[in-house]
Amino acid sequence: MNGLTEIRWSPYIVGCAIGVLSWFTLLVSRHTLGCSTSFARSAGMIERLFRGRKVEQKAYYREYKPVVDWQWMLVIGMIIGAFIAAKSSGDFALRWIPDTWASVHGGNIPVRLLAALAGGVCLGFGSRWADGCTSGHGISGAMQLAVSSWISALCFFIGGIATAFLLYRVIA
Amino acid sequence: MSTKLSQLIWGLLFGVVFGFLLQKGGVASFDVIIGQLLLKDFTVVKIMLSAVAVGTIGIHLMKGFGWVQIKPKTGSWGRNAAGGLLFGIGFALLGYCPGTIAAALGNGWLDALAGGLPGILIGSGMLAAFYPKLKARIFHLGDYGDLTLPRLLKVNDWLVIAPLIAVIAVIFWLLERAGL
| Digit-coded pLDDT (tens) for A81-118 | 999 999 999 999 999 999 999 999 999 999 999 999 99
A75 and A109 share one domain? no
Of B71, B103, B148, the CB nearest to A147: B148
pLDDT at A15 over 70: yes
A24 and chain B in contact, CB less than 8 A:
yes
Question: pLDDT tens for residues A113-167?
Answer: 999 999 999 999 999 999 999 999 999 999 999 999 999 999 999 999 999 999 9
A79 and A1 share one domain? yes
* Domain extent at residue A120: 96-172
A37 and A47 share one domain? yes
A6 and A62 share one domain? yes
Nearest CA-CA partner of A152 in B134, B101, B75, B23? B75
A163 and A107 share one domain? yes
CA distance linking residue A131 with residue B133, whole number of Å: 16
In total, chain B counts a number of residues equal to 180
A94/B110 Cβ within 8 A: yes
- Sequence-separated (6 or more) residues with CB below 8 Å from residue A115: A101, A105, B93, B94, B115
B90/A122 Cβ within 8 A: yes
For chain A, the average pLDDT equals: 96
A88 and A102 share one domain? no
Predicted confidence at residue B11, as pLDDT, reads 98
A3 and A88 share one domain? yes
The tally of domains found in chain A comes to: 2
Task: Tell me the pLDDT band of B123, cut-offs 50, 70 and 90.
Answer: very high
Mean pLDDT, rounded, for B28-33: 98
A70 and A105 share one domain? no
A120 and A80 share one domain? no
Among residues A64, A94, A124, the one where a domain terminates is: A94
A86 and A156 share one domain? no
Question: pLDDT tens for residues B50-96?
Answer: 999 999 999 999 999 999 999 999 999 999 999 999 999 999 999 99
* Domain extent at residue B10: 3-177
Which 12-51 residues of chain B touch chain A by CB within 8 A? 12-26, 28-31, 34-35, 37-39, 42-43, 46-51
Virtual torsion, Cα B132, B138, B140, B142, nearest 10 deg: -170
Burial of B142 (0-12, 13-18, 19+ CB in 10 A): middle
The tally of domains found in chain B comes to: 1
Predicted confidence at residue A171, as pLDDT, reads 82
Asked if residue B116 lies in contact with residue B101, where contact means CB atoms within 8 angstroms, the answer is yes
A104 and A88 share one domain? no
Among residues A69, A94, A119, the one where a domain terminates is: A94
Dihedrals phi, psi of B171, to nearest 5 degrees:
-60, -45
A101 and A29 share one domain? no
Among residues A75, A94, A113, the one where a domain terminates is: A94
